[in-house]
Structure 1
Amino acid sequence: MLITFKSKAAAEIVMYKEHARRILDLLHKDVEQGIITTAELPAAIASIEAAIAESKIHSVSTEVAHDVNMHHNATDDENEHEKPVTVSFATRAFPVLEMLQAAQKMQKDVVWGV
């Protein structure tokens, strides 16, 4: 399922619900439908910036890296896949953060699910 973030301050952002959920959980918002008002924007921006900074400190755990490497070094016929590239939280959250910053600058709300 997809989520579309909308604001009169920026272009729409379409994101998978599972990826948007982590961002919206930080803001204590429902993933199905919601609004970030102009009054909520400073705190929302600060929360996402803090989560991005935290995510950059902690790299992918060695367990996850080991599991990925084991799967892709298997001797069955699926071992010719390229290794998957992990997309960081910072990369996924950045477009939403930019939208929130633009919305704050122009004093516009951000909505989704409407």
Structure 2
Amino acid sequence: MLVTFKSKAAGEVTMYQEHARRLLDLLHKDVSRGVITAAETGPALAILEKEVAGSRLHPSTGELEHDVHVHHGENGDDAGHEPAATVTFAARAYPLMEMLRAASQGNNDILWGV
């Protein structure tokens, strides 16, 4: 399932629900429907920036292990697949963080699930 973030300050940002959930859990928001008010955009951005900085210090290996398991058999053969590549937390968070910056500057809310 997809989650689409909307704001008058920026174009829509769409991401898979599982990725949006990780971001929204940090902000104590429900993934199915919600709002980040204009007043909340600055603190929300600070929370995500802190998490991005931490994720760069301690990259997650869980996603990489999952990709390797999916693309490679139990015996380790690669079945002709490209090497597994991961999308970092920072890369996933970037579009929403840019929307938060624009919403903060324009004093706009961010909505999803509506």
TM-score, normalised by the number of residues in structure 2 = 0.87
* Correspondence 1:43-58 to 2 at 5 A: 43-58=43-58
Aligned match of 1:109: 109
Question: How far apart, CA to CA, are the structure 1 residues paired with 2:11 and 2:35?
Answer: 16
After superposition, the CA RMSD in angstroms is 2.3
Q: Deviation of residue 46 (structure 1)?
A: 0.4
Unaligned regions of 5+ residues in structure 1, if any?
none
Is residue 91 of structure 2 the alignment partner of residue 98 of structure 1? no
Over the matched positions of the two proteins, sequence identity in percent amounts to 53
Q: Spell out structure 1 runs of 4+ moving beyond 4 A.
A: none
Q: How many residues align?
A: 111
Unmatched runs of 5 consecutive residues or more in structure 2? none
TM-score scaled by length of structure 1: 0.87
1:67-103 CA deviation, whole Å, 9 max, x = no partner?
828936724xx52111221000000000000000000
Alignment partner, residue 36 of structure 1: 36
The CA distance in 1 between the partners of 2:7 and 2:88, in whole Å, is 24
How far did 1:61 drift? 3.4
Residue deviations 1:20-75 (CA, integer Å, cap 9, x gap)? 0000000000000000001111110000000000000112439x55x828936724
Q: Aligned partners of 1:92, 1:7: CA distance in 2, in Å?
A: 18
